[in-house]
Chains A and B, each alone.
Chain A
């Protein structure tokens, strides 16, 4: 394992060698190596097999921007080998091969490529009907990448916000100069870099003949950035999206930062673009920048004898770097008629390198099995995409290519930026960016180093002006005279394998054929051909695709455009999105007591409530026992989740009167009253009990799930009415229980010594205040479950102690807790509705037989006019009680009620009632089906029909004698 001498190898530590396995064979590397660089350092270039044709593939970008280096790392599939660090002892496997990576039996698929035309899956398995079912197994087997470990152990991933005045994405020369300029002016700056070190192109690219400029500049800029107290740096961090108002997800390690910055400067640089020619995918054919990265980052010699194919002067500088590192350069093949800089070109010529201007590589010639490039066929360019019929062959094991650059536009297009193609520069540029999002450097079409630095400062200065930190005038735009893109670097070959998209094995003709089949829009071309759908998401295929489609459809490249860029910019794990998601839950003060008593808990909104006490599989038995206990002895249920709202002030009664349907102006102090709430559509949306504590003080309950909405609506109404009333949501301030059953008074008498609990002193529907077990309490005589009962509301801090006191005092009366499901059965026996269970988005008071709870004497309540209108219409359905004999198949909530062939309603509640000795329920039925004693059909599970009998409500204790005791 020989490596180049320092200063090559910026990222590796030669003092720390390491060893690992790839595809079963041992390899060595150094700390800091990526898996791909370590393998290349061992002369191992073949890393993967292509998706469709199983062609050998090697490093292409060495920057984690292509799919060629996808490998399986232990149990994790689809890891980018040119980004993932090599570690001692890791086990790395190739992907997508049949047999072995070197001898993939499926490579034969490449010979059948003419039978797998563009849109292959789309066309072949769409018709005839059912053909897909036959092929699916085989295709899924062949088409997947990597092996997923279904036995994985979840790891801890999390998220954190990061706040800064300015976020700079990319730490190349533009990003560094922007960050420094902003930080020097006092802004707090976050600098985000995808690579392990700062500097961007300064870390690998050669900018001058002497080859010293980049290192010197980098040392200066990075040194200043690292010292700067106003700059926070994140390396190995990917900014994966741009969302409104500069909200950027940045992934580093196992954390997703949610960056929020007032100003955002994107200096994301540009992606070097490949040249389209036959066999441009062979291992050994790579971007010029990839060869430079191998040398500068990892001290790996990218080959022994190179050909450089270029469309700009940068290729010449790459040739110089190769020469300096001991790589023979067989030729520089320049697609242009002449270089831009005579000085740079002559430096190459003076080293004895042959330069062929106006030429291109027409075909790369492979070693056996397409394992590596062995030579290139160089031809003179005779026209757009056309070459001379004969050329010269150069032996080489490395072909560096650069057709120019494509701005890294993805984040910017997510932000609404638009791409425009300049025919002279043969380059896309960005415009129409939102305010406070700026671009600098090569993403902004600026390519000469001095101009890039100036452009970074320019962007920072603009940002400082919005931040109020600028000291000078608005800066002028920076321009750059360089032309870096060759107009038509596409040389189709009659035998194909001239790849536009390496991920998806798409050749030039595939794109053109897609347009001929009528897919003219680039979005449709993408979906039909799958171009740009692979892991590299069009980083290299978007530009040639735009050019090919424009050409084939006689439009400009601007008109053709590129496909929509969506987050994430680079692949992200679901764990990054799913990690440390907040899922709030609420517990009552008595929560732990329920657990200690073996409660089966159920969610109610974000509350946890006991459904019943006992094992899940004994639900019915538990509920029936608990309900019988309430009917015969005494039970207690935690009702702390019940909403509570306080209304205080001179207009409290007037406000109640406007919000709820009933009349409240004359509600006596010390009395409760049922309160129904309709919305402006006249639909019943909540109910509760109103207690009048004093003339100007109401305490009104609301449903567990409805209180938040009710409270908000109250606040909103009073923002308009401006009544003199204070509205407070006190739900969490009070813990509450309902103590119910014939013995409930006896239990309470032991604890409430300062309240007259006699039937006369504290009658049904009355409200009292006093102390229970020494705890200040609000007491309501309620009848929801149809037994003598008391709701006891206490400050939440005392909730658990109240529970403890009641359980202790009730012991001699055999007190037993009951759960929500039991309560639902008990209230069902009494025919009481639960809003949102027995009501839906259409339920008006008439359908629920709540006419009695509506006051027609007052001028207004929310929903009044709508209630008047809908209740004046002929009614079409009604909620009725029904019974079914014990043993009938029990309908579930939502099961349909039929009238002839039509659906006339649905079941809303249904349970077996031990007190009634039958299945009882509530259902909406057609208006012709409501007569007591008549029958209607319900379709239950399995399509079976049962005949339910309409009965008058309530099912139990029709005179309501028990609750009024």
Chain B
């Protein structure tokens, strides 16, 4: 069984973890086009190479980020999400634009 090095709990069987999908940047939900939003929601790069993914250590409820090579399945690095998400995220209060209902 594959071993995943958890930044909080150390190396553990992969069965202790839940995959949370690729780390993706959300387009501005107010101002992006329908197509941009659909791509964000539905499309996955699914690339052969290094991907950045969310992983949850279920027993400790700890989400972290892993860089993994999808061809070799090698886990290159794992780290706390605060390395990427440093700032409090705000959503603007502007009303949705008309294109939404187009």
Contact = CB atoms under 8 A, between A and B. Distances in A.
Contact of A719 (B81, B96, B101): B81
A866 B41 contact: yes
B29 interface: yes
B39 interface: no
Nearest to A713: B20
A722 B89 contact: yes
B43 interface: no
Nearest to B81: A719
A76 interface: no
B92 A720 contact: no
Contact of A869 (B34, B85, B92): B34
B93 interface: yes
A729 B56 CA distance: 15
Contacts of B93: 858-859
B67 to A, nearest CB: 16
Interface string A853-877: 0000011100011101100100000
Interface string A639-680: 000000000000000000010000000000000000000001
Contacts of B82: 719, 722
B30 A866 contact: no
Interface stretch (A9-17, A185-193, A239-247): A239-247
A868 B88 contact: no
B88 A723 contact: yes
A607 B44 CA distance: 35
A245 B20 contact: no
Contact of B73 (A244, A719, A729): A244
A650 B32 CA distance: 30
B87 A722 contact: yes
Given A859-B91, A860-B91, A869 B81 contact: no
B56 to A, nearest CB: 6
Contacts of B101: 868, 872
B92 A859 contact: yes
A872 B29 contact: no
Nearest to B34: A869
A869 B61 contact: no
B29 to A, nearest CB: 4
A244 B75 CA distance: 12
Contact of A865 (B2, B29, B73, B86): B29
B3 A869 contact: no
B82 to A, nearest CB: 8
A471 to B, nearest CB: 26
A719 B63 contact: yes
A860 B29 contact: yes
Nearest to A729: B61
A712 interface: yes
Contact of A658 (B42, B61, B91): B91
A716 interface: yes
Contact of A715 (B41, B63, B73, B91): B63
A749 B88 CA distance: 47
Given A247-B1, A716-B56, A859 B73 contact: no
A712 B1 contact: no
A680 B85 contact: no
B22 to A, nearest CB: 12
A380 B26 CA distance: 79
A723 B86 CA distance: 11
A872 B100 contact: yes
Interface in B33-68: 34, 37-38, 40-42, 54, 56, 61, 63
Contact of A716 (B3, B41, B63, B102): B63
B29 A864 contact: yes
Interface residues of B, number: 34
Contacts of B54: 716
B8 interface: no
Contacts of B76: none
Nearest to B93: A859
A720 B81 contact: yes
A563 B49 CA distance: 29
Contacts of B87: 722
Query: Could you say which interface size class chain A belongs to?
Result: 20 to 34
A868 B102 CA distance: 11
Given A712-B18, A721-B88, A859-B94, A245 B2 contact: yes
A681 interface: yes
Given A712-B56, A865-B37, A720 B73 contact: no
Contacts of B42: 681
Nearest to A869: B34
A244 B101 CA distance: 50
Contacts of A721: 85, 88-89
Contact of A859 (B30, B61, B81, B88): B30
A719 B85 contact: yes
B64 to A, nearest CB: 8
Nearest to A416: B72
B41 A681 contact: yes
Contacts of B86: 722
A770 to B, nearest CB: 31
A951 to B, nearest CB: 31
A245 B72 CA distance: 13
Interface string B6-28: 00000000000010100000000
Contacts of B92: 859
Contacts of A719: 63, 81-82, 85
Contacts of B37: 865-866, 869
A231 B61 CA distance: 37
Nearest to B62: A715
B80 to A, nearest CB: 9
Nearest to B61: A715
A199 to B, nearest CB: 31
Interface string A700-733: 0000000000011001100111110000010000
B42 to A, nearest CB: 8
Given A680-B41, A681-B41, A859-B92, A720 B85 contact: yes
Contacts of A681: 41-42
B33 to A, nearest CB: 11
Nearest to B18: A712
A243 B73 CA distance: 13
Nearest to A724: B88
Contacts of B40: 680
A865 B73 CA distance: 34
Given A243-B1, A247-B1, A715-B61, A865 B100 contact: yes
A712 B60 CA distance: 11
Q: Give the one of B32, B81, B91 with max A CB within 10 A.
A: B91
B76 to A, nearest CB: 14
Interface in A848-898: 858-860, 864-866, 868-869, 872
A868 B96 contact: yes
Contacts of A658: 91
B90 to A, nearest CB: 9
B46 to A, nearest CB: 18
Contacts of B85: 719-722
A3 to B, nearest CB: 46
Interface string A521-563: 0000000000000000000000000000000000000000000
Contacts of B56: 712, 715-716
Given A243-B1, A711-B61, A720-B89, 16 more contacts: A247-B1, A680-B40, A712-B18, A712-B61, A715-B61, A716-B20, A721-B85, A722-B87, A722-B88, A723-B88, A858-B93, A859-B30, A865-B100, A866-B41, A869-B34, A869-B100
29 contacts: A245-B1, A245-B2, A680-B41, A711-B61, A712-B20, A712-B61, A715-B63, A716-B20, A716-B54, A716-B63, A719-B63, A719-B85, A720-B89, A721-B89, A722-B87, A722-B88, A722-B89, A723-B88, A729-B61, A860-B29, A860-B30, A864-B29, A865-B29, A865-B32, A865-B96, A866-B41, A868-B101, A869-B34, A872-B101
Enumerate the 3 nearest inter-chain pairs by beta-carbon distance, A residue then B residue, closest first. A860-B91, A872-B101, A865-B29
Interface of A: 243-245, 247, 658, 680-681, 711-712, 715-716, 719-723, 729, 858-860, 864-866, 868-869, 872
